[in-house]
Amino acid sequence: MATDSDMATDSPYLSEEIANLFPDDITAEFWERCKRHALAFQCCANCGTFRHPPVDVCYVCRSTDTEWREISGEGTLYSFTIVTHAVHPALLTRVPFNVALVEFPDAPGVRLITNVVDTSPEDLEIGMPVRVQWEDLSNGQTLPRFVRRT
């Protein structure tokens, strides 16, 4: 679903040096949809249970029938932490930064690990409404990041 959040950020939130994704047969669909600026999660075609990260078998009904459902990209900050110690040289100039967990009303049970890119650490709040903002990297990968929703 296209929104005004389709505008890519000007510079990466974290260093592109550490943004190396290695999609496999199960996760490739998620990353391909991200490249198209579409946030979608795997869902059981039998019982409707959303799941992320994607898996081969539904943990509720054991079905192997899956589908991908696009969501609005609006969510809520479920939890977060502020990283103050760089564990990789590429992050030395990026600390402090947040690692956030976002949940989505239109994908019950899904929580996505990401970052909130427009809010200082002291202004982050559990329950804060957020929306997706796409970060297109020079290596051809696209990451879902989030901004405060007003």
In the predicted model, is pLDDT for residue 113 greater than 60? yes
- pLDDT number for residue 4: 41
Helix (H, G, I), strand (E, B) or coil at 8: coil
* pLDDT tens, residue by residue, 126-135: 999 999 999 9
pLDDT in tens, 78-92: 999 999 999 999 999
pLDDT of residue 10: 63
Tens digits of residue pLDDT in 53-78: 999 999 999 999 999 999 999 999 99
Which whole-number Å values give the CA distances from 121 to 36, 61, 87, 126, in the listed order? 29, 40, 18, 12
